[in-house]
Amino acid sequence: MLKSLAFTTTTVTTTTTSPLLLISSKPTSSCFLFKPLLSLSNFCTKPISSFPQTHRPISFYRAPMNLLNKLGFGSPRSPNADSSSIAQSPDDDVPAPGQQFAQFGAGCFWGVELAFQRVPGVTKTEVGYTQGFLHNPTYEDVCSGTSNHSEVVRVQYDPKECSYETLLDAFWARHDPTTLNRQGNDVGTQYRSGIYFYTPEQEKAAKESMERQQKLLNRKIVTEILPAKKFYRAEEYHQQYLEKGGRFGFKQSSQKGCNDPIRCYG
């Protein structure tokens, strides 16, 4: 319990017995591999990143998890009308000639990206944030639980080599679509299940695919199917994170067709 909190013009002090002092300034989370028949495995922790980050001096204390923000701690940025309008606009980025975009949210984007990297016909993947109300969000903003962004992978694929239905199959296999705002130990709106379509054809295929998937499960699917909104590319250290080896350099294969278990770690 926080016993005392004194403000001056330059400092903030707390008692050394406060358990809040033991909490990291960066959110932690975990992610896992969802296997057929809803078998959950490979839980892990997304630790404090050792990569440099840019912090804005707007508050004395930054809450390390969604729960603390919901309890009133921390000072995440608040979107204004202009910010919300930009963030909610359609994704107007253009794929390479002859390519198409697809967007998926299925929990922590590290493992989701690697799963799509391995799909033949996928030519590029990027992780980022979308569907929120804040323009140019940071990872800290998204993890505050107040911006409504989802962690997503934007997939660029060659429709001559990879059908959209193939991507949908990879999406369903990668996560549990029946848990609302949660994948394993990862809890928060940024981990929600979502398919974000670019064309009416993608929307139709997504809804039909979800209907088929629902018949295979004994719990209600909570996946949202919405138009693709503006895509904000995540910080560079998040890109191809597991392929590059994560925090400890344990690289995982992104070769096409690879079926090695995906281990999601910091």
Which residues are known to be catalytic? 108
Contact 119, 256 (CB under 8 A): yes
H or E element in which residue 188 lies:
none
**Distance (Å, rounded) from C-alpha 48 to C-alpha 32?**
18
Contact 161, 105 (CB under 8 A): no
Residue type, 67: L
Phi, psi of 88 (to 5 degrees): -90, 5
Which pair of tokens denotes residue 29?
């989370």
Residue type, 224: E
Which pair of tokens denotes residue 98?
């002859």
Residue type, 3: K
| Best CA proximity match to 29, nearest among 42, 45, 41, 40 | 45
**Distance (Å, rounded) from C-alpha 150 to C-alpha 228?**
11
**Distance (Å, rounded) from C-alpha 189 to C-alpha 93?**
25
H or E element in which residue 229 lies:
none
- Chain centroid to CA 126: 11
**Distance (Å, rounded) from C-alpha 124 to C-alpha 96?**
10
Contact 151, 105 (CB under 8 A): yes
